[in-house]
Every structure is written in structure tokens, then in C-alpha cells.
Amino acid sequence: MSAIGFFDRGWRSNPTGIAYLQGATAYTFTEAGELSCRIAHALLASGLTPQAKIAVLAPNDPLAWICVLGIWRSGYTWIPANPASPAAETAQLLGAFDAELVIYHSSLAGEARRLRDSLPAVRHWVRFGPDGSGPADTSFAEWIAPHPATKPAVDPAPEDVVSLAPTGGTTGLPKGVMNTNRSLSAFATHLMMAAHYGSADTVVNLAAAPMTHTAGLLSLAATARGGTVVVLPKANPHAVLEAIEQYAVTDLFLPPTVIYRLLEVLQEYPHDLSSLRYLIYGAAPMSVEKLRQALTAIGPVMMELYGQMEAPASVTFLRPDEHFVDGAIAPDARLSSCGRPYPLVQVEVRDDDGLALPPGTPGEICVRGDLVMKGYYKNPEQTALALRDGWLHTGDIGFFDDEGYLHLTDRRRDLIISGGFNVYPSEVEQVIWGHPAVRDCAVVGSPHPDWGEAVTAVVELNENSSVTEQELIALCKQELGSIRAPKTVHLVPALPRSVNGKVLKKTIREAFWRDQKTKI
């Protein structure tokens, strides 16, 4: 199936049902579907090159996502542009990805003006939203007005590139990941297999995290079932909890950092979350201790997804029931895993010679199957490095246990070698996360004259909580021994994060290596 086919499946089954809802604005499947057709015709009439790249620059908004559907329906490629990124970074991204047309929200008109001068290759700027259009761009209403609400005669092929998305960018300039109809279809199919619903169930997905990233793609599974996607502008914990109650939300995705805030809010402001069937977490490691808290406070609805942009969000999954053993919350050895592989991918843990390793032995996680990207845009060297021998080499280090659960130990680049010993930061982070005063942390290697690298923790505390550096070091020594325990701990008001909420370990690490005396 094509990526747009997942929306069309819901359109056929529930044409008068609400597909997208934000506040007082609602689109039925027919309204959203016909609008996406008009957008597709407008794109096809814009004089773009074959396989043109179209950027959508907007906050979470149903119309912005319908524009993505229109791009897919036209056969062109969507560039997810994050509205929270600095203008210079967005300009660099759209220039490198050869964007020819930008659709943007009126709230970002200032950003669009700053981008124009540095993006001469962009042929058209289309503006939607309450503020109309400016002199240098086209209003959305005028742009689509002449075009029919019928499906264009475009026949999508499985290998057509439908998404050109940047990698996380936490370790350098982002690469452009080319995902196809085939890879996004594998992703959406995996999610539908993991999240079980009966034919009579009412599916309500809450898109609270950025739709430019995982939340948008996850909405495909809801619309494929004829369900409703409720769109929030931001993942504000209070707004998320209120929306779950108000709309009887059945599933949503949140990164771990937002779930931590949710738990804090729930302690003071209880909410009825009984409608929730799946709270999907991923995109970054999660504290096992906080996962236990979530299973108690929210219920048996937690489901983990592991993947990366190159194999979108569905290499392995840990079902809600797998978070429990014999009716009790599962032991840490299970909760710290990423789950088992989905059926449409092969996953192996391999050594540096490409040989599969036995259970319990760490190596690089390699993936093969329809889920895997086509390659990196205009980057044959990195493509060849990542896609070797028919496998995606993820750069993640992990191992399988005897039950077939995959455990992610760290990114290869994050490994700390201290005095000749390998230290995986994730092991240390799990211990620190377990302290009740800790909100979040990052462990990196800092320069040391004798050991090469010293294990160093940077820690963000919960509000009105306190703990000393020495107390955290003592805790780690007790749990992990002296070699893996941090030599120093830095308490900071907030960890540096990307616009997607990921902790920027590269930024933290560089601060130490640039000048050992630099404070984060």
C-alpha cells in the first residue's frame, strides 16, 4: 500500500466521520480527503520538477497534516520542517534537500520572510492560516481554488520517495533520510499489528508531540481504522491529560521527557485516563524507575517502540502486557528492553566482521526488510556505509536476551572508554534516573589525563527536590561499582535539548572537551 492509502482506507470506511479535530475546527474524512486532492492538483499545476520536494513549515495543525496528505497524493516528496528550529538551520536544511515549494502557517510569516533570501531555488511560497497572505506569497485559498476535489491520476510506486526527513542532528549536520511508500507502509502496518482494536472500537488518537516527527506518522494507523486524530498545538502535560478525558483518547505517543512531566502533574491533579489503551513511548531511552511509576499511575497501557528515522519507529516493540509477568510489573531486565522485533523486519546483533552474535553478547544492531529507508539524499558515501550487505547498520549497540528481547545499550559513538574499560552511559543513566530527586540526566565521557575519559554525569532535578553530587556518585558505586560510577556529577537547571526534545549529548560532550572548566 502507499502512504496515502492508509488515509484512503479510513475515508472509504467512514466518509462522514471526523478525521481531524483541533478545538472548534473539525474535518470529516470526506472534507480532509477532498481537500488533499485539491492540494495535490495545485502542486501538479505549479510547474515543479519531477519528484519535487515540498516543505511544510507549521506548528501542529490539521490543515498542515492534510497538506502532507496532498503532497503524497501528488507523488511528490514531503520535507518535514520543524517550526521550532532556528531560521538559519531551516534554511540550511531546505537548501540541502532542494525544496521547490514551501507551505507555511501564517504564525511563521516572519520566519518565512527570513528564509526567502537564502532559498532562491524555492519557486513558490504558499501561506495558510488566519492572517491571509502577504505580497510575496500566495494565499492557500487562492492556490487551491481552481482545482477539483477528485483524486489525481497519479499511480504511486512502492519505491517512490515520499518523505525526506533529517536525522536527529544531535551529533552533527543532519542527513536526509529517504523513506518510501514501502517503508512507511511497513511502519503503519507494524503499528496496526501492535495496537489491537476490534471492529466496534472507537479509535481516538491524540497528536500532541510534533507531527513533523513520529506523532504525524503514528496518526496514519488511526485514520486507516476510520478513527479520529485530535491535534494539540504542543505536548503540554496539563493539556494532554485534559484532552484524554475530554475526547476519550485511546492512543497517543509521547517521548519519555513528557511522560516524566505527566507523572508529576498526575500526583497533584488526578485525571480519568480509563479510555487510554496505548501510551506509546520511544525516541529516547526511558528511565525504568519512571516506567514503573507510569505503569502504576496510568495503568497497563505502556507500549515501547524502537527504531530510527532510517527504519521508522518500528524495529521492535514491547506490548503493554509484556510490561507484566504473572500479574505483577515485570522485572527491570524486561522493562529495560526494547521488546521483540516486528514481523516484517529481520534484526540481528553483529560483530565488526558482520557475524551474528549469540544472546547476551553486545554488538551493532542491524536491520533488514521493507521498513528500511532507500538511502541518504545525495550522500552515496553515507548510504553505502549505513546499507551494507543488504542490512541497515543502525550504529546502535545492543544484545538479545534468552527470551528474544532486544536490549539497547548505547549508540556506538556514545561509548565511554575509561582506563581501558568500556562503559555504556545508558547503564549509568538508569541508576541515576532511579533517584526520586532526578528528572533527567545524561552521561558522557570527559577528558582525563590518566584514564583518557572519565565517566561524567549531568543531571537535571525535579522541582523542589535536592540531592548532592556525592550522593549520586555513591548510589552508582553501590549499583555498578567504581569503574562505571561517575567521577563527577554536574547539577544543572535544564539539560540542552533539540527541538524534538532529545537531550543533546553532543553539546554536553563538546563543552567538556572544548574546555574542561566550561560549565554546561
Q: What is the DSSP letter of 497?
A: B
Place of cell 515549494: 101
Half-sphere exposure of 315 (CA within 13 A, CB side): 30
pLDDT exceeds 80 at position 401 = yes
Q: Give residue 173's pLDDT band: very low, low, confident or very high (50, 70, 90).
A: low
Q: Are strands 228-231 and 204-207 parallel, antiparallel or unpaired?
A: parallel
Ranking 24-38, 149-163, 168-182, 293-307 by mean pLDDT, the lowest is: 168-182
Helix (H) or strand (E) holding 56: strand 53-57
pLDDT of residue 316: 97
pLDDT tens-digit map of 180-232: 999 999 999 999 999 999 887 899 999 999 898 888 999 999 999 999 999 99
- Whether 134 shows a pLDDT value over 60: the answer reads no
Domains and CATH numbers, the chain: 29-180 (3.40.50.980), 235-411 (3.40.50.12780), 415-514 (3.30.300.30)
pTM (whole model) above 0.75:
yes
Query: Residues 413-425: what's their mean pLDDT?
Result: 79
DSSP state of 305: E
* % of the chain with per-residue pLDDT over 90: 76
The whole-number pLDDT of residue 416 equals 87
Distance CA 160, CA 267 (A): 47
In the predicted structure, residue 516 carries a pLDDT above the cut 50: no
Cell 488511526 belongs to: 222
Structure confidence by residue, pLDDT tens digits, 369-398: 999 999 999 999 999 999 999 999 999 999
pLDDT at 406 over 80: yes
Beta bridge partners of 418: 421
pLDDT of amino acid 286: 86
Q: Which amino acid is at 415?
A: L
DSSP string covering 125-146: EEEESTT---TTSEEHHHHHTT
Pairing of strands 375-376, 176-180: antiparallel
Task: Return the pLDDT at 414.
Answer: 81
- Asked if 37 and 122 touch (Cβ cutoff 8 Å), the reply is no
Give bridge partners of residue 328 from the DSSP assignment: 325
Specify the 3-state DSSP secondary structure of 474. helix
Q: Specify the pLDDT at position 520.
A: 38
pLDDT at residue 132 in the model: 52
| Burial zone of 482 (CB within 10 Å; 0-12 exposed, 13-18 middle, 19+ buried) | exposed
Q: Choose the weakest-confidence range: 1-15, 127-141, 213-227.
A: 127-141
The CA distances from residue 512 to 98, 141, 363, 375, in Å, are 36, 51, 28, 34
- 173/481 Cα distance (integer angstroms): 36
What is the full DSSP assignment across 347-399? EEEE-TTSPBPPTT--EEEEEEETTS--EETT-HHHHHHHEETTEEEEEEEEE
What gap in Å lies between CA 297 and CA 292, rounded to an integer? 9
> Is the per-residue pLDDT at 305 higher than 90?
yes
Q: Who wins on pLDDT, 86 or 171?
A: 86
pLDDT (mean) for 2-21? 97
Query: Nearest Cα to 97, choosing from 377, 318, 291, 398?
Result: 377
Assess contact for 366 and 392: CB atoms under 8 A.
yes
C-alpha cell at 307: 527504531
The rounded distance, in Å, linking the Cα atoms of 477 and 480 is 5
Would you say residue 133 has pLDDT above 60? no
Cell of 247: 475526547
Kind and range of the H or E element at 104?
strand 99-105
Output the nine-digit C-alpha cell for 468.
Answer: 548532592
Residue keyed to cell 565521557: 445
pLDDT tens-digit map of 314-335: 999 999 999 999 999 999 999 9
User: pLDDT value at position 251?
Assistant: 97
Cα gap 50→444, rounded to integer Å: 45
CB burial class (10 A; 0-12, 13-18, 19+) of residue 382?
A: middle
25-28/251-254 β-pairing = unpaired
Write the pLDDT tens digit of every residue in 437-487. 999 999 999 988 767 789 999 999 998 899 999 999 999 999 898 888 999
Quick one: pLDDT at residue 403? 97
For residue 503, what is the DSSP state? B
pLDDT, residue 518, reads 36
Q: Give residue 170's pLDDT.
A: 41
φ, ψ at 53 (rounded to 5°): -105, 125
User: Is there a contact between 122 and 57 (Cβ–Cβ < 8 Å)?
Assistant: no
pLDDT tens, 146-172? 999 999 999 999 999 999 999 865 444
SS3 content of the chain, % helix, strand, coil (to 5): 35, 30, 40
Which residue is listed with cell 529517504?
A: 178
What is the residue-averaged pLDDT of the chain? 91
